């Protein structure tokens, strides 16, 4: 199942990002999970504010990283969908 | 950087980093008396527990060391009146706080207060899918009904809820109902933890050991439910290792990702490590946590691969399961550096499986945990 561009992804309560100073990377903290984020994951979640639609998130990433939209759309959708399957994110 | 590495020659090298998670067993006191309690047989009494200010300082040290997740456990952590202060300390040091509770000792008001202080997650134990089973196993009348209340408060407060269901001979057949109940209660995660034979469970092997068929069916049911409930409920599964062919990768490797502090302040690599008699555990009252993690003998005892004997030493699986559980090797082989007898390559494997099968077929009476003062 893929997320529609008009849909709005939001991290669920009790799920948050944090910069891990000790290890020098971003992590996603969730119930009994700590997931190390790579630069791409961290960039996507930095734009996932719960208000922006997937389309809006893509627009922001395109503008910020000067990346071709159709190239990143798949990656962003797959990443957010994997979080949804793990009950860390909801889509409204 | 924290993962074990195997190079092209097949010689393996393990590197370990700072701990990711800490289990703070803030008290051994608990209103329940589950016959599989993972606490030691010798419980710490109230007057032996670390005071608030030491826990608060230890949480600061843990965060500086690299701990991300703080599991507040026990015993029943709500038995401590300063639980609120400890949750505040987690928030102050940006630790993800997880309350591992039976639910007894929580009220709606108290839980609301804990959320306001920054509590991130609630893990609620479940001893059975109905009051009859749950209250029998927990040894606490009215416990089941209180748990249902706590689950309701947790989800209405929009706190994430995990249910922890310990499975054994007497309730493992009701796994489908357990999964349905978790969905109905609005849990995001369910831990299906088949009882591990440490602590009080050792006394109750005959009453609690599931049969091989029960264990196999439970595995199939979990696999089916995971697929069906993707995006609804995450299921973590701890299988019945006495019926397995290979051991569990205990703690993800000794002293590699997590640490446990017991109520009196001793720091251990896992909650059963005290059963290894030659290990000496240092105390946060005496030493900085970082020194204990990096330098103490107990934490270094089974790090890496140097300590291993055959068949582990030359085994290609050693970087995957680290030889299994040191405490189980101690308990069954009488040597904490031996191969976990669960492993098919252990000379004790056949004996372990026969004993498990015999215990599964017999029906012992339950010995319940007693209370520390």
Q: What is the CATH number of the domain that holds A75?
A: 1.10.10.1150
Residue A8: how many other CB atoms lie within 10 Å:
19
- Model pLDDT, residue B12: 43
Burial of A92 (0-12, 13-18, 19+ CB in 10 A): exposed
What end-to-end distance do the CA atoms of chain A give, in Å? 14
Are the Cβ atoms of B69 and A12 closer than 8 angstroms? no
Residue A33 lies in a domain: yes
Distance from the Cα of A66 to chain B's closest Cα (Å) equals: 31
Residue A30 lies in a domain: yes
Q: Each residue's pLDDT tens digit in chain B (373 positions)?
A: 344 443 334 344 446 799 999 999 999 999 999 999 989 888 999 999 999 999 999 999 999 999 999 999 999 999 999 999 999 999 999 999 999 999 999 999 999 999 999 999 999 999 999 999 999 999 999 999 999 999 999 999 999 999 999 999 999 999 999 999 999 999 999 999 999 888 889 888 888 989 999 999 999 999 999 999 999 999 999 988 888 899 999 999 999 999 999 999 999 999 899 999 999 999 999 999 999 999 999 999 999 999 999 999 999 999 999 999 999 999 999 999 999 999 999 999 999 999 998 888 888 788 888 877 5
Are the Cβ atoms of B189 and A27 closer than 8 angstroms? no
Are the Cβ atoms of B231 and A27 closer than 8 angstroms? no
Are the Cβ atoms of B96 and A34 closer than 8 angstroms? yes
Residue A7 lies in a domain: no
Domain holding A29, by residue range, is 12-86
- Model pLDDT, residue B363: 80
Residue A55 lies in a domain: yes
- Model pLDDT, residue B261: 98
Residue A92 lies in a domain: no
B261: its two tokens: 């502090």
Residue A5 lies in a domain: no
Q: Does B99 touch chain A (CB under 8 A)?
A: no
Are the Cβ atoms of B234 and A86 closer than 8 angstroms? yes
- Model pLDDT, residue B5: 40
Q: Which residues in chain A are closer than 8 Å to B65, comparing Cβ atoms?
A: 22
CA dist., res. B92 & res. B256, Å (int): 25
**How many residues are listed for chain A in this entry?**
92
- Model pLDDT, residue B25: 98
Distance from the Cα of A31 to chain B's closest Cα (Å) equals: 6
- Model pLDDT, residue A1: 59
- Model pLDDT, residue B24: 98
- Model pLDDT, residue B15: 61
CA dist., res. A35 & res. A24, Å (int): 13
Distance from the Cα of B188 to chain A's closest Cα (Å) equals: 6
Q: Given the DSSP bridges, would you call strands B234-238 and B189-194 parallel, antiparallel or unpaired? A: parallel
Q: Give the torsion sign (CA, B289, B294, B295, B297).
A: positive
Residue A91 lies in a domain: no
Which residue is it, tokens 């016959």?
B35
Are the Cβ atoms of B230 and A85 closer than 8 angstroms? yes
Residue A68 lies in a domain: yes
CA dist., res. B138 & res. B13, Å (int): 44
Query: How many structural domains are present in chain A?
Result: 1
Give, to the nearest 10 degrees, the angle between helix B143-156 and helix B108-116.
40
pTM summary value? 0.94
- Model pLDDT, residue B9: 40
What end-to-end distance do the CA atoms of chain B give, in Å? 44
- Model pLDDT, residue B121: 98
């Amino acid at each position: 199942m893929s997320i529609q561009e008009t849909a709005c992804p939001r991290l669920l309560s009790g799920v948050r990002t944090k910069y891990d100073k000790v290890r020098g990377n971003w992590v996603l903290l969730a119930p009994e999970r700590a997931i190390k984020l790579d630069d791409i994951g961290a960039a996507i979640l930095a734009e996932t504010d719960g208000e922006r639609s997937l389309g809006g998130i893509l627009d922001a990433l395109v503008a910020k990283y000067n990346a071709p939209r159709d190239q990143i759309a798949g990656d962003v959708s797959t990443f957010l969908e994997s979080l949804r399957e793990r009950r860390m994110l909801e889509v409204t | 950087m924290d993962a074990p590495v195997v190079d092209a020659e097949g010689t393996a090298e393990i590197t370990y980093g700072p701990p990711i998670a800490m289990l703070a067993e803030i008290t051994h006191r608990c209103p329940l008396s589950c016959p599989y309690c993972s606490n030691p047989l010798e419980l710490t009494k109230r007057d032996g527990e670390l005071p608030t200010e030491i826990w608060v300082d230890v949480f600061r040290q843990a965060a500086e060391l690299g701990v991300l997740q703080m599991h507040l456990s026990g015993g029943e952590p709500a038995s401590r009146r300063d639980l609120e202060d400890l949750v505040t300390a987690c928030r102050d040091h940006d630790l993800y706080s997880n309350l591992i509770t039976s639910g007894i000792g929580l009220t709606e008001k108290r839980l609301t207060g804990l959320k306001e202080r920054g509590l991130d997650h609630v893990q609620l134990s479940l001893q059975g899918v109905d009051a009859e089973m749950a209250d029998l196993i927990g040894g606490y009348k009215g416990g089941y009904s209180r748990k249902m209340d706590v689950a309701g408060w947790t989800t209405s407060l929009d706190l994430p809820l995990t249910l922890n269901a310990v499975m054994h001979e007497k309730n493992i057949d009701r796994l489908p109902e357990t999964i349905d109940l978790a969905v109905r209660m609005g849990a995001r995660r369910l831990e299906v933890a088949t009882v591990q034979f440490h602590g009080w469970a050792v006394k109750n092997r005959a009453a609690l050991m599931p049969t091989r068929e029960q264990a196999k069916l439970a595995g199939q049911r979990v696999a089916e439910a995971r697929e069906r409930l993707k995006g609804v409920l995450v299921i973590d599964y701890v299988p019945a290792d006495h019926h397995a062919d290979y051991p569990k990768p205990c703690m993800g490797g000794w002293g590699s990702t997590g640490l446990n502090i017991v109520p009196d302040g001793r720091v251990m690599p896992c909650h059963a490590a005290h059963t290894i008699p030659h290990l000496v555990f240092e105390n946060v009252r005496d030493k900085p946590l970082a020194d204990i993690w990096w330098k103490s003998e107990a934490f270094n005892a089974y790090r890496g691969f140097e300590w291993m004997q055959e068949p582990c030493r030359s085994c290609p699986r050693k970087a995957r399961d680290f030889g299994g559980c040191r405490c189980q090797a101690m308990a069954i082989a009488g040597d904490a550096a031996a191969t976990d007898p669960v492993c098919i390559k252990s000379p004790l494997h056949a004996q372990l499986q026969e004993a498990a099968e015999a215990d599964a077929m017999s029906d012992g009476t339950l010995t319940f945990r007693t209370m520390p003062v």
